[in-house]
């Protein structure tokens, strides 16, 4: 080989050290196995740390009407029935136990002030009742800290600043992974009996994103290249509220908790416009007038009354993210935005300065330090930002197993749980519920494997040569220039709004970028070289970008985060299918398969309890008009 490499052997290898990866590693380790955790950045710095608003779970600590069935229904309706219903059911059932478990392990949640001291919860978009357990607006940080402490004390071995470049297989089974340490460039081989992918999202594929630097679609591409099927790749969520100014922080997330605490949107005419954008599926659940919304706000948020005692409906600012993001985009595109191209989000006139600093400390400091804006006095200017990927590696709902033996996935790089649109707060409970299940399943699988496989030395030589290729193109293109062009191509052709001509052009431009990538050039050597890291990340981003575009071309309807301006309505036929992407010898293969439907008796039970609405279900299934 061109470089020496170290070799490690583990029963379970977890790639990704965010909430899903940590929870998977904890569970696998608790089953008595030797577990390694590989993180691209430093331990405790994964993107989960940026999750702010809370963990969604039907705890019932504030509103006794909340149940797992209602949480399930909200998740399915929020996902526009594109979810794998069984994953949504498992999630709703198990989320409360995972939150209480986290509390038992040391998480310090905000408490109710009714003398009982229960875990406090707040409102979030698309949830019928208050349901998000929170720690101010720093919930992800607390979740990660708690899991990190638990994992370290359990003896999990951690490999920090290490990137996995390729999974290794024998027939249809994973047997290891090959990568490099980012600091030194030294290659490393992990032999493993099972692998859990928990690498997070794909946000760096788009120019304006709330995601941190490491979200380059690694798990998606690793699984795809190993032969695993991807599902639901057309569903990319744009969060309605990202910072728009200054340019250096454009896209940085503004928690939905601002709206949960009473924040409202206004355009440059001073109009509170969300009442104009309530879709049929939410007509009965959200206030139709500003007067009704303000009365609800006064009674529930300001006075702290129990919501079950209030007849008014909650404000439309608390609708699901796909609905709100499209509303903001429309207002901005039609010229009703502000000087930096955004919309005003106002909490200053709704809550006292003391309340804002107490409930939203991170938001206060974020705007004060980065934009010199005091959100206790003036509105924030916000706009949509690429935030979350609902699609990912196709997994079994119960085990999180992929279509490759021994390969499991959890968190944002797995598919099925969120359908076409994720509700706020469901990501953190998703991490806990399915991270645990992935770790348990990986452990059970590993116990059946008696020995580690021999790895073909020539395969490692070839992979190492691939990684060195950017150094062999002294007159090639700069990786950052290619990345910038890729982001613009994706934003233009497969962003929030899509149509066939634009996506076909997008695919042609992606082909051109593939050719440019073959000649990407990096100066220096493998030590301390972020340009080289970016050159290697481009392979993964291009795979994900093509998968998103090809899947979006197939789905000729608008559903959730996938909006086709040439097919604006729900389709009855597409309501029953999901799009699958798989690697073939020639090119990316795209097909459709049946989407598992809610069992009729379970659905009838929820309709009878007024948890699901039959008219809304028929609208989302394209059986009757939804507009």
Q: Which residues are catalytic?
A: 239, 259
SS3 of 56, please? strand
Distance CA 304, CA 163 (A): 48
Q: Could you write out the DSSP letters of every residue in 160-203? A: -SEEEEEEEEETTEEEEEEEEETTT--EEEEEEEEEEE-----G
Q: Could you write out the DSSP letters of every residue in 383-417? A: EEEEEEE--EE---TTT-B-SSBTEEE-GGGB-SS
SS3 of 343, please? strand
What is the b/e burial string over 167-205, where b = at least 16 CB atoms within 10 angstroms of the residue's CB? bbbeeebbbbbbbbbbeebbbbbbbbbbbbbbbbbbbbb
DSSP letter (8 states) at residue 614:
H
Helices 426-446 and 85-104, packing angle to 10 deg: 90
Please return the burial class of 160, using the count of CB atoms within 10 Å of its CB with bins 0-12, 13-18 and 19+. Answer: middle
* Residue 551, token pair as written in the block: 């899947």
Assess contact for 49 and 213: CB atoms under 8 A: no
Distance CA 101, CA 23 (A): 11
- Give the rounded distance of the alpha carbon of 209 from its chain centre: 12
| Cα–Cα distance list, 565 to 106, 363, 570 (Å) | 48, 34, 12
Q: How many CA atoms lie within 13 A of 590 on its CB side?
A: 17
């Amino acid at each position: 080989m061109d470089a020496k490499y170290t070799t490690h052997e583990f029963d379970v290898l977890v790639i990704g050290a965010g909430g899903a990866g940590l929870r998977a590693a904890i569970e696998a380790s608790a089953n008595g196995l030797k577990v390694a955790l590989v993180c691209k950045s430093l331990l405790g710095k994964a993107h989960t740390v940026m999750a702010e608003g809370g963990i969604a779970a039907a705890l019932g600590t504030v509103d006794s009407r909340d149940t797992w069935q209602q949480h399930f229904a909200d998740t399915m309706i929020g996902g526009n029935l594109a979810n794998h219903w069984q994953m949504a059911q498992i999630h709703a059932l198990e989320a409360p136990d995972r939150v209480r478990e986290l509390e038992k392990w040391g998480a310090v949640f905000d408490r109710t002030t009714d003398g009982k001291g229960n875990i406090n919860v707040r409102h979030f978009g698309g949830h019928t009742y208050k349901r998000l357990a929170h720690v101010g607006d720093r919930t992800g940080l607390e979740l990660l800290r708690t899991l990190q402490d638990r994992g370290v004390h359990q003896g999990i071995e951690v490999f920090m600043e290490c990137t996995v470049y390729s999974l290794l297989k024998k027939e249809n089974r994973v047997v290891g992974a090959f990568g490099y340490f980012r600091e030194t460039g030294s290659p490393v081989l992990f032999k493993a009996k099972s692998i859990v992918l928990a690498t997070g999202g794909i946000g760096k594929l788009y120019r304006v994103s709330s995601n941190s630097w490491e979200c380059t679609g690694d798990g998606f591409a690793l699984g795809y290249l190993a032969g695993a099927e991807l599902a639901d790749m057309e569903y990319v969520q744009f969060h309605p509220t990202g910072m728009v100014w200054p340019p250096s922080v454009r896209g940085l997330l503004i928690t939905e908790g601002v709206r949960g605490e009473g924040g409202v949107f206004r355009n440059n005419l001073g109009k509170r416009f969300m009442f104009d954008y309530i879709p049929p599926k939410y007509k009965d659940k959200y206030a139709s007038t500003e007067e009704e919304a303000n009365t609800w706000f006064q009674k529930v948020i300001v006075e702290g009354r129990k919501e079950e005692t209030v007849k008014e409906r909650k404000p439309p600012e608390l609708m699901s993210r796909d609905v709100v993001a499209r509303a903001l985009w429309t207002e901005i595109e039609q010229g009703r935005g502000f000087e930096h191209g955004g919309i005003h989000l106002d909490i200053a006139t709704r809550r006292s300065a003391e309340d804002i600093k107490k409930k939203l400390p991170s938001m206060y400091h974020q705007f004060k330090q980065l934009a010199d804006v005091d959100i206790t006095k003036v509105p924030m200017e916000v706009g949509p930002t690429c935030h979350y990927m609902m699609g990912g590696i196709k997994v079994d709902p119960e085990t999180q197993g992929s279509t490759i033996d021994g390969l499991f996935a959890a968190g944002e790089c797995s598919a099925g749980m969120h359908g076409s649109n994720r509700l706020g707060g469901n990501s953190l409970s998703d991490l806990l519920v399915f991270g645990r299940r992935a770790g348990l399943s990986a452990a059970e699988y590993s116990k059946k494997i008696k020995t580690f496989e021999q790895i073909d030395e020539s395969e490692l030589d070839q992979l190492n040569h691939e990684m060195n290729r950017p150094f062999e193109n002294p007159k090639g293109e700069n990786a950052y220039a290619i990345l910038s062009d890729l982001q613009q191509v994706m934003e233009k052709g497969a962003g929030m709004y899509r149509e066939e001509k634009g996506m076909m052009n997008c695919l042609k431009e992606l082909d051109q970028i593939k050719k440019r990538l073959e000649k990407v050039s990096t100066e220096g050597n493998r030590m301390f070289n972020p340009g080289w890291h970016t050159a290697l990340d481009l392979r993964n981003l291009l795979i994900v970008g093509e998968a998103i575009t090809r899947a979006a071309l197939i789905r000729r309807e608008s559903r959730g985060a996938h909006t086709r301006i040439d097919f604006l309505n729900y389709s009855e036929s597409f309501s029953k299918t999901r799009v699958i992407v798989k690697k073939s010898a020639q090119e990316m293969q795209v097909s459709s398969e049946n989407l598992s439907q809610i069992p009729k008796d379970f659905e009838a039970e929820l309709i009878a309890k007024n948890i699901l609405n039959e008219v809304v279900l028929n609208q989302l299934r394209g059986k009757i008009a939804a507009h």
